[in-house]
Structure 1
């Protein structure tokens, strides 16, 4: 029973990292090879341009943020995460691009203003934890310029996850984006174990 409780607390750290356990979870997320491949792949799919203004929701240790900053060289990269531990870790990881990256400690249901419209938004393995995901996605669509892009990615981490689990996750993400008013949806898959699904969409013009 004690072991089960400890395991559940550690799993919870990947949802909302905090304290010593959160720092351990952050180290695992930053150094797991599949996490890096997944994040780099999603950024590549988003086709970020040098002038783009991009937001990542739930950036964790900041792997994708660094990739975004390497592409949006004349733009601006924003990151929102509800974990102060992850904000600190991501700040260290992206220190070299600090002048072009703004990290914000906030939850997705309390997003700040970003001034001008955004060109792209992404979330990797975080949308499943959001309160009222369709409403959050409608709010994110309101932050995008007409024709702006969104990428939602999911690599299921439940016990026994396989290709079928990933396919179901992709279907759920498609439905959420459809409900929020995004169009031009397409699904891409990265062949990891289990596979990663990324659903991309557009804010209608």
Structure 2
């Protein structure tokens, strides 16, 4: 489980390969990107991009925009960089080894933010969400995805995870919060919210 949280070395590369090729992981990431409704000119950030599946989907939609990614695993930065090499070369995709509590500078406001199965590991998640809200333009969107991987996880486990994300987003000042569910085993929750136009 530690390797899934922070892939390192040879074992980390194997974990990345597994995450990239597991059918449910690909479904989850593509579904989440679809819900985020990325437009061609959007500037998008993914936090904890792993092997770069969602990064590739985001780049396919933000064709005249820019996709940023941060991940605290150097092994995943390398793997996602290889998977998205063409977009990285033309500087439409920029991947950085960084953590959510030490965000790099993005120069201009972002239009959308995605985090798949990573928010549960953030230190002080409400404060991190406040930091992320400051990076978003007014009416910018965020999507937090959770597919519980604890032993015996059920639909109720997913519902509790969604409720927790909803509460954290509310505390951080986001509005228009809603949850969607993907019927996998266990189900996946995607909680979407908007940065209020009042700032």
Select the residue among 51, 54, 61 that pairs with 2:41: 51
Match of 1:16 in 2: 6
CA deviation string 1:90-136 (max 9, x = no partner)? 00101121120000100110001100100000100000011110000
Match of 2:122 in 1: 130
Select the residue among 137, 140, 147 that pairs with 1:148: 140
Q: How many residues align?
A: 195
- TM-score, normalisation: structure 1: 0.94
Unaligned segments of structure 2, at least 5 residues: none
CA deviation string 1:31-78 (max 9, x = no partner)? 100000000000000000000000000000000000000000000000
Match of 1:84 in 2: 74
Match of 1:73 in 2: 63
Match of 2:168 in 1: 176
Unaligned segments of structure 1, at least 5 residues: 1-10
Higher helix share: 1
State the alpha-carbon separation in 1 of the partners of residues 107 and 60 from structure 2.
22
Match of 1:162 in 2: 154
Moved runs in structure 1, 4+ residues, more than 6 A? none
State the alpha-carbon separation in 2 of the partners of residues 188 and 174 from structure 1.
12
Select the residue among 121, 124, 142 that pairs with 2:113: 121
**Cα distance, 1:196 vs. partner?**
0.1
State the alpha-carbon separation in 1 of the partners of residues 22 and 10 from structure 2.
18
